[in-house]
Amino acid sequence: MRQPYVLICQARPSHQILLHQACNALGLFNVRVVNGLVEL
């Protein structure tokens, strides 16, 4: 089964970490973090 990609766009670093850990706990390992929509 293919793994979906997850893009986290959250301004607060502490929330980025929590969201990343939550995705990992759910088995979603293709997670990327960006600081803003400009990076897309």
Please report, for the chain, the start and end positions of each structural domain, with discontinuous segments joined by +.
6-39
In 16-30, which positions are buried (b, 16+ CB within 10 angstroms) versus exposed (e)?
A: beebbeebeeeeeee
**Encoding tokens for residue 31?**
């997670």
Q: Using 50, 70 and 90 to split pLDDT, how confident is the model at 2?
A: confident
Percentage helix, strand, coil for the chain under 3-state DSSP, each rounded to 5: 40, 20, 40
Using the predicted structure, report yes or no on whether residue 16 has a pLDDT greater than 90. yes
Q: What is the mean pLDDT of the chain?
A: 89
Q: Which residue has the higher pLDDT, 4 or 36?
A: 4
Q: Yes or no: say if 37 and 9 are a contact pair by the CB < 8 Å rule.
A: yes
The 8-class DSSP code of residue 26 comes to T
Instruction: Give pLDDT, residue 39.
Output: 66
Using the predicted structure, report yes or no on whether residue 40 has a pLDDT greater than 70. no
Q: Using 50, 70 and 90 to split pLDDT, how confident is the model at 15?
A: very high
